[in-house]
Amino acid sequence: MDDDEATGLTSGTRATVATVLAMNDRKSVVPGAVSAAPAEPPIPTQGLQLHLGSGPYAEPGWINVDKSWSSRVSRNRPLVRVLARARLLNDQQRATQWPREVIRRDLSKPLEWEEGSARAVYSSHMVEHFERAEARRLLGECLRVLAPGGVLRLVLPDVHAGAREYLRQKAAGDEHAADEFVALFYESYGHLPRLQRLAFGFLHRPHQWMYDAESMRALLEEVGFTRIRERTFRQGACPDLETLEIRDGAHEPASFYVEAFKP
């Protein structure tokens, strides 16, 4: 049996795996791509701090904003009990209580804050729930509300890391490798009863677009941001990262972190 038969991969797939593994060994900063910088000018000392897509987490000192209808539903405990008995909420949704400090806003619409009024905008695992054109408009609004020198920090699932993991699993003979890779992009409720599918679709918008660090850099540049830097967990110019970023076994290993500044 030759090597291709032993691994179950074609020679073309083996070459692709080798290429991606070589890319994985490269430095995290590549010429012309998102790059790290040892020092940055300080961000403004005054201004709003906007936490967009906060989920059920109200960070002190920040304006915490989320669109999810779960924020309203969770505050009506009798309704939560009815929906849970009807199996229209899962255990996590039933147990989660949203703080009243979280403001419900539709972030696909223009932001309500004045131009130049914010020193920092933070968003984790939210932008991928917008279509690319929607995300571009939102990032443009973030640029508008930031003061000159203000920072935008984004945390997103990394399609590059997902592709590496897919090829690793494929090379190891995992027959479900493709299923797990596609699940990064497409959150399916097809296995649920019809009413549960409707409820989950109402309360949660699945992924609409995915990025790696380089594609997000290109989008941020289109919008007008400068000094775009790839960061790591709790490292960067954004304030309060020690409490904003919670070490999360589900998110952190397959995420990338990027900061961009208003010129």
Taking CA atoms, 22 is separated from 17, 25, 27, 109, in Å, by 9, 5, 11, 42
Residue 244 lies in a domain: yes
Mind listing the pLDDT tens digit for each residue in 149-170? 999 999 999 999 889 988 999 9
Whether residue 217 lies inside any domain: the answer is: yes
150 in a domain, yes or no?
yes
The pair of structure tokens assigned to 146 is: 């930031």
* Domain span at 134: 46-67+105-158+211-263
pLDDT of residue 179: 87
| 76: Cβ contacts below 8 Å, ≥ 6 apart | none
CATH of the domain at 124: 3.40.50.150
Q: Is the dihedral of CA 9, 177, 249, 156 positive or negative?
A: positive
**Alpha-carbon gap, residue 143 to 147, rounded angstroms:** 8
Token reading at 8: 């179950």
- Residue 219's CB is within 10 A of a number of other CB atoms, namely 19
| pLDDT the model gives residue 254 | 85
Q: Which amino acid is at 173?
A: G
From residue 9, alpha-carbon distances to 22, 138, 246 in Å are 18, 42, 39
Note the pLDDT tens digit of each residue in 169-217. Answer: 999 999 999 988 887 776 655 556 666 655 555 556 778 899 999 999 9
The answer to whether position 97 is within a domain reads no
pLDDT band at 61 (very low <50, low <70, confident <90, very high): very high
The C-alpha atoms of residue 45 and residue 149 are separated, in whole angstroms, by 10
Specify the higher pLDDT residue, 11 or 198: 198
**Confidence (pLDDT) at 112:** 97
Is 35 inside a domain boundary?
no
Residue 61 lies in a domain: yes
**pLDDT given for residue 90 in this prediction:** 61
* 3-state SS record for the chain: CCHHHHHCCCHHHHHHHHHHHHHHCCCCCCCCCCCCCCCCCCCCCCCEEEEECCCCCCCCCCEEEECCCHHHHCCCHHHHHHHHHCCCCCHHHHHCCCCCCEEECCCCCCCCCCCCCEEEEEEECCHHHCCHHHHHHHHHHHHHHEEEEEEEEEEEEEHHHHHHHHHHHHHCCCCCHHHHHHHCCCCCCCCCCHHHHHHHHHHCCCCCCCECHHHHHHHHHHHCCEEEEEEECCECCCCCHHHHCCCCCCCHHHEEEEEEECC
pLDDT at 36 over 60: no
Residue 2 lies in a domain: no
Per the structure, the count of domains in the chain is 1
Q: Contact, 230 vs 213, CB < 8 A?
A: yes
Any domain includes 240: yes
**Is 116 in contact with 148 (CB distance < 8 Å)?**
yes
- Of 20-24, 55-59, 228-232, the range with the highest mean pLDDT is 228-232
Residue 11 has pLDDT above 50, yes or no: no
